[in-house]
Amino acid sequence: MSREHMKWWGWGRADTAFHHDDKPALRPLLLDRLGVDIDIPAAAPPDVADLHIAPPRRPEPLTSALAAATRLSDDPVERLVHGTGKSLRELVDLRAGRLGRLPDLVVHPGDEAETAAVLRLALDHDAVVIPFGGGSNISGSLRPPDDEQRPVISIDLDRMNRVTSIDTESGLAVIEAGALGPELEEQLNAAGWTLGHFPDSFKHSTLGGWIATRSSGMQSDTYGDIAAMVLAVRVVTPHGLLETRPLPGTSTGPSVLQMILGSEGRLGVITEATVRIRPLPQRRVVLGYLYPSWEAGLRATAAITRGEARPAFVRLADAEETTFSLSLRTGGPGLAEKLLDGYVRKVRRQDPAQVCLGLVGFEGTPAAVRRDQRLVASAVKAAGGFPIGAGAGAVYDRKKFDTPYIRDFLLSRGVHADVSETGAPWSRLPGLYAEVMTAFHAGLAASGARGSVMCHLSHTDPVGACLYFTFAVVPAEDGDLHDYDVVKSAVQQAFVDGGGTLSHHHAVGTEHARWLSEDVSPAGAGLIGALFAGIDPAAQLNPGKIVP
């Protein structure tokens, strides 16, 4: 493989994992919430030698033509890596040896011309093409349909990872779609710029993947989501090269750019994008705040977002997630934590079990950061909250890309942990939060399993925000997804029933496709389906995603 991709059976690098030995508060918390003792040794990682990987379909003359056009591989492990994302369903299936349909061939084009040649060969030889970025998708967007009989080609743009130009006068950069987050930031930072897009998957996802899934980064409050950052794209399609231009505005019919955003490879292969960039901030600080309740935190968060301050991000954890976050601290509670606990109880007269942790990131000039800190402090105080300094923020900044490793840690102990996120207007958020919590516990009761759920608010906007739910289900039988499916379906249904979107930034794929018409209306789903059928009538571009 040209790039060291994530391990096939879990998240991230093979030499990186979550450990609990130095976190004494975590074991009793998980015993209480899930009835799981994490001191019991975890299941060993699966061995690829134990898997039955079906031989690839290598029809001629397609295979020879592809080999002549670009780099080509049919290595079993490379096919395995490129045939699955990182959804819980995929990881459970992989660990159980249920591989499903894998790509037959993996190609690594070095430029747009090679990409176009691969697509043309696939179309001419009745093959399927599935674009691959970093493999971090959790919505089933990378998995070929199990019943697909045609040859399947995974097209990995890992060799196309350069920032090719920077327009300092306009604040624009042209970047190849295969660039991973760290790769493009390193190149931009060297010139004094940043894109500012930092999703949880930042280390293992690409610009093209962000565009194809309408990704949103942790600092979207200031920088916007990927849809706000991308001004132009180049896409290899069945009908030739689609190219838009980086313009401040246009009134030329339905937006072609918007059609590409979120299309998950169904309209073509994104090869390049022109994006907005910003100068590196002079100062950055993340401060923590405690609120007496979730409702108080919501009031403060809404006031901050709709006020004059311009923080890089505003984040609020409910009481359950606050407790979980505190359980991840290394060592036992120190003097500072004990003093804070006493202050909450005796001085603030608040219940420590109900307090909610808020984090606010500040970026910009020193003067702008000081100004925003004063404005935020006023909103926090008005809601009954108080500041706790930079300690919690420093931990968040240091660990912000490590959370997915916890899911692997729990999965190796038989726990099905996952995330689901939605977005709604501020007026709907309190009710939607309550409805999702009710739906989760109803689903848990219906399944008969044991589990737990927690939530944080992120990706704020003057109109509304994202609610990001993390839940865990302990199935009756390890590897059986029935209990998980009951609970996950209840949560997703509550999103659309409660006025939220079925996915705020994790895309549709196959995991969320059955709710699409409820989210965008049957007419809207039909419009999307007609677009896909018009550009790709034989369904050769990532078939079955978004609209089956």
Distance CA 116, CA 122 (A): 10
pLDDT at residue 340, rounded to an integer: 65
Burial classification of residue 464, based on how many CB atoms lie within 10 Å of its CB (0-12 exposed, 13-18 middle, 19 or more buried): buried
pLDDT at residue 335, rounded to an integer: 45
Distance CA 208, CA 271 (A): 7
242 forms bridges with which residues in the sheet? 235
- Say which range, 177-191, 380-394, 525-539, has the weakest mean pLDDT: 380-394
Three-state SS across 465-502?
Answer: EEEEEEEEEECCCCCCCHHHHHHHHHHHHHHHHCCCCC
Three-state SS across 67-125?
Answer: HHHCEEECCHHHHHHHCCCCCHHHHHHHHCCCCCCCCCEEEECCCHHHHHHHHHHHHHC
Q: What percent of the chain has pLDDT over 70?
A: 97
Which among 313, 243, 282 is positioned nearest to 468, based on CA atoms? 313
- Say which range, 217-226, 294-303, 394-403, has the weakest mean pLDDT: 394-403
pLDDT at residue 351, rounded to an integer: 77
Distance CA 25, CA 22 (A): 9
Q: What does pTM read for this prediction?
A: 0.96
Distance CA 392, CA 328 (A): 12
Average pLDDT, the chain: 94
pLDDT at residue 476, rounded to an integer: 84
pLDDT at residue 506, rounded to an integer: 96
Residue 527 pLDDT grade (very low, low, confident, very high; cuts 50, 70, 90): very high
pLDDT at residue 398, rounded to an integer: 86
Distance CA 346, CA 348 (A): 6
Distance CA 403, CA 182 (A): 17
Report pLDDT digits (tens) over 3-32: 789 999 999 998 899 999 999 999 999 999
30: its two tokens: 């998980």
The H-assigned helical ranges of 281-318 are: 294-306
To which residue do tokens 């404005």 refer?
375
Report pLDDT digits (tens) over 489-512: 999 999 999 999 999 999 999 999
Q: Is the pLDDT reported for residue 341 higher than 80?
A: no
Report pLDDT digits (tens) over 62-71: 999 999 999 9
Mean pLDDT of 264-285: 97
Which among 316, 296, 313, 400 is positioned nearest to 358, based on CA atoms? 316
Mean pLDDT of 91-115: 96
Distance CA 321, CA 47 (A): 34
pLDDT at residue 336, rounded to an integer: 53
Burial classification of residue 330, based on how many CB atoms lie within 10 Å of its CB (0-12 exposed, 13-18 middle, 19 or more buried): exposed
Which run of H or E residues covers position 228? helix 226-229
Residue 2 pLDDT grade (very low, low, confident, very high; cuts 50, 70, 90): low
Q: Is the pLDDT reported for residue 1 higher than 50?
A: no
Please pick, among 223, 291, 433, 468, the residue that the annotation labels catalytic: 468
Distance CA 337, CA 465 (A): 30
pLDDT at residue 14, rounded to an integer: 87
The count of other CB atoms within 10 Å of the CB of residue 399 is 12
Contact 450, 35 (CB under 8 A): yes
Report pLDDT digits (tens) over 455-476: 999 999 999 999 999 999 999 8
Which run of H or E residues covers position 221? helix 220-223
Contact 136, 205 (CB under 8 A): yes
End-to-end CA distance of the chain: 31
Three-state SS across 333-358?
Answer: CCHHHHHHHHHHHHHCCCCCCCCEEE
The whole-angstrom distance between residue 176's C-alpha and the CA centroid of its chain comes to 20
pLDDT at residue 45, rounded to an integer: 87
Distance CA 497, CA 518 (A): 9
∠360-362-363 over CA atoms, to 5°? 155
Mean pLDDT of 255-273: 98
Question: Pairing between strand 105-108 and 71-73?
Answer: antiparallel
Q: Is the pLDDT reported for residue 352 higher than 90?
A: no
The single-letter code of the amino acid at 390 is A
Task: Give the sheet arrangement for strand 105-108, strand by strand.
Answer: 71-73, 105-108, 152-156, 128-132
Report pLDDT digits (tens) over 310-333: 999 999 999 999 999 989 988 766
Mean pLDDT of 101-124: 98
DSSP string, 507-534: --TTTSGGGHHHHH-HHHHHHHHHHHHH
Distance CA 396, CA 390 (A): 10
Contact 264, 546 (CB under 8 A): yes
DSSP state of 10: S
Mean pLDDT of 304-310: 95
**Any catalytic annotation for residue 468?**
yes
Distance CA 326, CA 26 (A): 9
Distance CA 413, CA 415 (A): 6
pLDDT at residue 330, rounded to an integer: 85
Distance CA 333, CA 327 (A): 9
Report pLDDT digits (tens) over 357-405: 999 999 999 999 999 999 999 999 999 999 998 988 888 888 889 999 9
Q: Is the pLDDT reported for residue 34 higher than 50?
A: yes
Question: Pairing between strand 152-156 and 105-108?
Answer: parallel
137 forms bridges with which residues in the sheet? none
Mean pLDDT of 149-169: 98
Please list, in sequence order, all residues whose beta carbon lies within 8 angstroms of the beta carbon of residue 71, skipping any fewer than 6 positions away.
2, 107, 108, 109, 110, 159
Report pLDDT digits (tens) over 420-438: 999 999 999 999 999 999 9
Peptide bond connecting 61 to the previous residue in cis, omega within 30 degrees of 0: yes
